[in-house]
Chain A
Amino acid sequence: MDTEYTLDFQVSTIPEPTSAAGLGVIAMLISLRSRSRTKLQLKHTTRI
């Protein structure tokens, strides 16, 4: 023997890609929030 060694093989889980469905839900929520703000602004303008 002239060499001693220890190797550590480190294994991880392959990350799951962000699903298209999840992205769709996020986009829809942003869109709804944006429309709600627009309505509030219109209502405020009407009162003035």
Chain B
Amino acid sequence: MHHSILFVHAKATSIDALVPVGKIAASLIFLAMIIGPGMASAAITYDEVSQGDFSDNFSSPTDLGTLDLGSNTLSGESTAGSTEDLTIPEAPDYPDVDVDLWTLNIAHGQYLNQIVLTSYSNDNPFGHTGGTGGIPGGGSFFAVQMGSEITVTIPDGSSLLGGTLIGVIPGAQETDNVLDDLGSGMFSTPPFNVPLFSGP
């Protein structure tokens, strides 16, 4: 069985259709994580600066292999571009939007128990306002989907296991564990049922 987690890192949006309170300007990250039979491996350490840009192809996320016991760190850079309203279906495909998409495996007998946001910084070069009642620069959208590719269409979050904003909102800032925030219900209805994220 495969579970996919999508983190799209694109920029700030008006995603009020998915957000219960107002509009939030946010960067968007999609991580596609596959929980499947994984081979034993060394700890994953991936840095976009030295190892290349994460995929922005929703059908073919960057495959990072199998997570090792302990820490596995991923560092990336992204931008939401000039388009603030990502509820436009084509928005994630705009050329100035840089999303980060990847897949991960978890080995048999192991499980993902934390996702810690160890560092985070962002600015708002396009002056996104967050829309009416929104929060300019409200963070980055971080979402999870089952499967080996990302099929979600913003603002329809029905295919997501869950999603949240990371980086700015209290409880999902630097040094915080953001795994539990995926289940907050911010971007999924009914609230995200956080799976065990364990290997088969």
Give chain A's interface residues, CB within 8 Å of chain B. 1-14
Q: Which of A3, A4, A6, A9 gathers most chain B CB within 10 Å?
A: A3
Q: How far is the CA of A2 from the CA of B27 in the complex (A)?
A: 9
Contacts A4-B76, A4-B121 given; does A11 touch B29 at CB 8 Å: no
Partner of B119, one of A2, A6, A13, A14: A6
Interface size, B (range):
35 or more
Q: Mark B161-190, 1 if CB is under 8 A from A, else 0.
A: 000001100000000001000000000000
Contacts A5-B9, A5-B76 given; does A11 touch B106 at CB 8 Å: yes
A interface SS class:
strand
Residues from chain B with Cβ under 8 Å of A6 in the complex = 73-76, 117-120
Is B116 an interface position by the 8 A CB rule?
yes
Give chain B's interface residues, CB within 8 Å of chain A. 9, 11, 27, 29, 44, 67-80, 98, 104, 106-107, 109-126, 140, 166-167, 178, 198
Tell me, rounded to whole Å, the shortest Cβ–Cβ distance linking B72 to chain A. 4
Tell me, rounded to whole Å, the shortest Cβ–Cβ distance linking A32 to chain B. 35
Interface contact A2-B125, CB-CB below 8 Å: yes
Q: How far is the CA of A18 from the CA of B198 in the complex (A)?
A: 19
Partner of A13, one of B29, B75, B110, B123: B110
Residues from chain A with Cβ under 8 Å of B107 in the complex = 11
Tell me, rounded to whole Å, the shortest Cβ–Cβ distance linking A4 to chain B. 5
Q: How far is the CA of A5 from the CA of B120 in the complex (A)?
A: 4
Interface contact A14-B73, CB-CB below 8 Å: no
Name which residue of chain A comes closest to B49, CB basis: A4
Q: Which of A4, A5, A10 gathers most chain B CB within 10 Å?
A: A5
Contacts A11-B69, A11-B106 given; does A3 touch B113 at CB 8 Å: no
